[in-house]
Amino acid sequence: MELRRVRGWWGRSIAVAAIGGAIFLCLAPNALAQPFPFGSELRLDADPMRGSKKIPVLDIGQNGAAEIDLWCNSVKAQLVVAANTITIITGEMSSRQCPPDRARADDDLLTALNQATNWLMEDSALVFTGGKTLRFLRQTN
């Protein structure tokens, strides 16, 4: 089998396109990745609980310090992000008097946040995975 050398502008164009494609494929995950939404306020993609209008909110500072308003109580947290992995370290929960269903929902949400190991952006939603999948939507107000 004989390999012919492609000459002229057409051959060079193919070579440049092939090299460019190879470089893009190597860098594509980084080039297409969206940055973590530091400095954002996001709300849980869920309906309010019966008898309330409140939906949990995640307020993330520029340095990863966060305030999480749960279904009834709130908690301060630190989000540690490296590439697409995340660790959420939560502090003490506030001690408001809550109906049992809201207190249980607070505990469940906090457990799911503590179990999160990865994150990704889907359109304008921040999605945590690793335990239960949680979607937080950017606030539009």
- Nearest to residue 61, comparing CAs of 46, 81, 45, 47? 81
Which pLDDT belongs to residue 99? 93
Which pLDDT belongs to residue 123? 87
Indicate the burial class of 134 (C-beta count within 10 angstroms; 0-12, 13-18, 19 or more).
Answer: buried
**For 89-104, what is the mean pLDDT?**
93
Q: pLDDT digit string (tens) for 10-45?
A: 445 454 444 544 444 444 444 446 899 999 999 999
Q: What are phi and psi of 26, to 5 degrees?
A: -70, -35
Question: What's the pTM?
Answer: 0.74
Question: Which domains does the chain possess?
Answer: 1-32 (no CATH), 40-138 (2.40.128.270)
